[in-house]
Each structure stands twice: as C-alpha cells, then as structure tokens.
Amino acid sequence: MQRSFKTIARLLIILVLFSVDKLKAQNKDASTYSVTLEQAIDFAIQNQPSVLNASLEQEIARKKVNELTGLGLPQISGSVDAKDYLRVPTVVIPAIAFGGPEGVIQTAQFGLQYEASAGLNASQLLFDGSYFVGLKASKTYAELARKNYQQTKIETALQVSKAYYNVLVNAERMDLLNANVERIKKLRDDTKAFFDNGFVEKIDFDRMDITYNNIVTEKTKTEKLLELGKLLLKYQMGMDMNANLTLTDDLKNIKFDESLPADQQTDYTKRIEYSVLQTTQRLQELDLKKNRVAYLPNLVLYGGLSTHAYRFDFDFFDSDKAWYPAAVVGATLSIPIFDGFQKNARIQQSKLNLKKIENNFKSLEQGISLEISTAKVNLQNSILSLETQRKNRELAEEVSRVSKIKYDQGVGSNLEVTTAETSLKEAETNYYSALFDALVAKVDYQKATGALIKN
C-alpha cells in the first residue's frame, strides 16, 4: 500500500512538472504586442477576418472588370473531332431525281464510316451598346467594392476603439483597486489590533472586515473583466487569443473638448455611407443607360478555318490520303425589332429605382444630421458628467482621508470611516463608468462626423 502511494506521488510530481514546462513553453511561444490605439486599429485592418474578406471582395470586383473587358477582345477557339459511324446515316430522296418512277422513295448512304475534322474559329465584337455600358458599370461596381471595404474598416476601427478604451479604463481601475486593497487591509489590521487591546468593539472590526471583503471581491471581478476585455480586444483586432497584449496609451493624455468644433454646416460627403449611395446611384444610372442602348443593333465579325477527312478505315494519320480544307469569314448584324415592350418595362423600372435612391439620399442626410446632433449632445453630457464625477471622487477621497486621521487621533468613529470608504468606492465606480461613457461618446462622435479614420 505504501509502495503504491509512493508510485502515485511520483506520477503526480512528474505530471505537475510536465504541465509547468508545457505552460512555460506556451508562454515562450506566444507573441507579445505593445500597441497604441492607432496601432491596434492598423493591426485589425491587416488581420481582422471581416476586413480581409472585404479586401478580397474588392479584388474580386477588379477581376470582374477584367472578365467583362475580355468579352470585347477577340474570341478564339480550336476544335478537333473524330467520328465512327457504326451505322452510316441513310438519306431518303425521290427516285424520280435519278430517272426512276414517280412516287417511289429511294434510299442512299452518302457518308463513310470514319470522319475527322480540325478547325479554328475566331470572333470579334465590333459594336454592342450594352457591352460598353456594362464595362463602365463593372468599373463603377469595383469602386463600390472599394468603398464597402472602407466602410468595413471604419466599423472595425469603431469596435477596436471601444474595446481598447474598455481595457484602458479597467486597467487603471485595477491599479487603483490594488492600492485600495492594501490601504483597507492596513485599516482592518489596525482595527483588529485596537479590538484585541479593548479600544474598539467587535462590531467596529466587523464593519471594517466587511469593507475589506467587498473590495477584495470587487478586485477579483475587475480582474476577470479586464481579462475578458483583453480577449474581446484581441477578437476585434483579429489577434491570436494566446498572444500577450499590452496597451501603451495613457488615459491622462486623452482630450475631449478638442472633439467638439464650433457648429458648422454638415458635410455629408465625409460619411462613407453617403459616398456608397452616390456610387449606387451611378450604377443605377448606368443600368438605365444599358436598357436604353438595348434598342441599338450589335455587330459581330467572325471567321473560321477547318479541314475535314473521310475514310473507310481509321487511318487519318496517313499522309498520302487527302484532307479537305474550308474557310469562312462573315459578320452578323442583329437588329432588335419588337420584344413585346420588355425593354421599355426595364427602362421604367430603372427610372423608378433612381427615384428611390433620391429618396434614400434625403433619408440618409436626415439620419446623418440626427446622428451627429445626438452624438454631440451625448459627448457634451458625458464630458459634463465626467467632470462632476471627477470632483465627487476628489471630495470622497478627502472625506476618507480626514475620517482616517480623526479615527487615528481618537476623535472619529469607526462607522464614520467605513461610511467614508463606502462613499469613496461608489464615487470611484461612478467616475470610471463616466470615463468610459465619455470615451465611447467621443468615438461615436468621430464616427458620426466621418473623422474616425481617413477615407
């Protein structure tokens, strides 16, 4: 039994050592990043899957332009064909054509069992109004894909900024909580010493013990929120979740008032959504033009060169037997005459879609104006609230400091100290909440005014 216990103990020790070594190896292999907010946004633009997909869509659109351009270039194809007529086709003709009696049908087989051919065909589009309009539309579509890519970058920058500020605020709050835990612990230990020596009642120590337990719990919760916030930031950046991430921006250097310029006329073109709608309008105008030019004829030039061989036996590679060449050139002019008013119906649909886009412009302009006004008011209110909570926090710190001095000098009560600590903790919570709200409001205002990232 004792030997079995020793064996299990050895295995546990080996397992623990192996786990530690593995953890060290993982930490050693994990990448380390120290980033500012701007660097975090740049990293996300290079690595976030949604941005990468938008970039691929942009590249796909460019390839679509190349594809459509190719339709206007010469189209050349080659072919080789070989046939074995297991039963040679029979042709039915009137016997009178060969001097036979009238009303009698004569059958004949005019082919040979084996037939082969090789050919080269080419065509060139000379004129097609729909093609030229479609080519222009494809380039406009590529421009739309580029703007969609820009819009995805803006949305990514918005999410990364909010996640970055969340981590910054919780990190600063974590530093403060660590200091507060040490301060409250000392205060609790001092109260315990007073209680042990009979200078205070047990209820005084219990109050301080409760205060200490609450702040330790708050520290633990904030630690978890900080780790969760870092994971969210890594996700928004498209970063490996196991990477070591350090934020280098300082909250003290962030200014809010500079985000609020004097009132001026709204420039809608700064918003990527407005630019996207402008491109969509151009696409719809090109669709209308395409439907109109569909009434025009189209002209295609073509030519072909081929050679044929017919054999009783499969000996097409015999150079002594003949091949029969053929060549053709021509042009096809297609003229639309009547299509049951289909083209006219498509033209009317395009016109109606253009009217819808005009209405969308009005709606978007009103929406942007409302968004800017709302974001500006929210930012102003957030700045005001932040300043108020900063003053409240400073007052609560002073009250806590004075209460502690009075208590140490024997002229204050333990209840007064715990009440001051509770008020201080509430003031700090309100301050950091107001700070994060102000940071989010700042980012939302930048996004509303089209100033979050450059187009």
Report pLDDT for 330. Answer: 94
Q: Sign of the CA dihedral 404, 410, 416, 422?
A: positive
pLDDT in tens, 293-319: 999 999 999 999 999 888 888 887 777
- In the chain, % of residues over pLDDT 70: 91
**Could you tell me the pLDDT band of residue 455, with boundaries at 50, 70 and 90?**
low
Say whether pLDDT at 20 is over 50: no
Neighbours of 35 (CB within 10 A): 19
pLDDT in tens, 170-189: 999 999 999 989 988 988 88
Report pLDDT for 198. Answer: 82
What is the model's pTM?
A: 0.81
* Interatomic CA distance for residues 214 and 205, integer angstroms: 14
pLDDT in tens, 425-444: 999 999 999 999 999 999 99
**Could you tell me the pLDDT band of residue 5, with boundaries at 50, 70 and 90?**
very low
* Interatomic CA distance for residues 18 and 381, integer angstroms: 55
Per-residue tokens: 427:
């003031």
Report pLDDT for 259. Answer: 55
Report pLDDT for 17. Answer: 52
Say whether pLDDT at 25 is over 90: no
119 strand-pairing partners: 79, 306
**What CATH architecture is 33-69+129-294+343-448?**
Up-down Bundle (1.20)
* Interatomic CA distance for residues 387 and 381, integer angstroms: 10
With 0-12 / 13-18 / 19 or more C-beta atoms within 10 angstroms meaning exposed / middle / buried, residue 135 is: middle
382-407 mean pLDDT:
92
**Could you tell me the pLDDT band of residue 260, with boundaries at 50, 70 and 90?**
low
Say whether pLDDT at 400 is over 60: yes
